[in-house]
Amino acid sequence: AQTVTQSQPEMSVQEAETVTLSCTYDTSESDYYLFWYKQPPSRQMILVIRQEAYKQQNATENRFSVNFQKAAKSFSLKISDSQLGDAAMYFCAYRTAGRTGANSKLTFGKGITLSVRP
Amino acid sequence: DAGITQSPRHKVTETGTPVTLRCHQTENHRYMYWYRQDPGHGLRLIHYSYGVKDTDKGEVSDGYSVSRSKTEDFLLTLESATSSQTSVYFCAISEWAEAFFGQGTRLTVV
């Protein structure tokens, strides 16, 4: 079974600085997706970024970028120029790329709470 | 935003009573999921569906059942609610890769 591990329960960053959130996963599959989701105090789950395992290039969305290390099964999120609105819980998630029913599970880590200091 | 509606948004119920949460989508996505979120546990999958009448168990399925008789609706039933089922419940939908989430239902079992 696939597992997703976020070992840091909390992190803090100074406004305008850069922070990296760590995530590791375990799978025997070769083709899969990885995601970072953000959950602000409103409780809404918001997709931040997506990475396809077959792509070597790291995904980037504005101030958010990932460092995808497939061999090490590591998928970290870097937030540049941190803003107060980035304060939230962040979840790493994994999904197999197969299209059969049993492959449609989306597995989450336990999350990390990010605080931003003004 | 993806068209996902969860109902009710908040519910307080008594131990031992049955409870049904509803997830409705307007996106015609194939996959639908029910998660529960508890402090220190992240999001844990309860049940999921990969088509009408096609469902399967997740990692915390005991005490829960689901039904999907139409593409747009995915129902989660707590057969006999217990205090350990007090949680925030999220529905999610997906077609290709990423999932889109509803706003969550806060369920309190007293």
B97 falls in which pLDDT band (50, 70, 90)? confident
B5 falls in which pLDDT band (50, 70, 90)? very high
Distance (Å) from the C-alpha of residue A108 to the closest C-alpha of chain B? Answer: 6
Residues of A in contact with B92 (CB under 8 A): 45, 106
For A7, nearest residue in chain B (alpha carbons): B40
Per-residue model confidence (pLDDT) at position A99: 64
Cα–Cα distance, A18 to A76 (Å, whole number)? 13
Greatest C-alpha distance within chain A: 47
Residue pairs between chains A and B whose CB atoms are closer than 8 Å: 56
pLDDT tens digits, one per residue of B72-92 = 999 999 999 999 999 999 999
Query: Which of B91, B98, B105 is the best residue to mutate to test the A interface, defined by the most A CB atoms within 10 Å of its own CB?
Result: B98
What is the average pLDDT value for chain A, to the nearest integer? 93
Question: For B41-77, what is the HEC assignment?
Answer: CEEEEEEEEEECCEEEECCCCCCEEEEEEECCEEEEE
Residue with tokens 């976020």: A6
A73 touching B, CB under 8 A?
no
For B102, nearest residue in chain A (alpha carbons): A44
Residues of B in contact with A44 (CB under 8 A): 101, 103-104
pLDDT tens digits, one per residue of A33-78 = 999 999 999 999 999 999 999 988 999 999 999 999 999 999 999 9
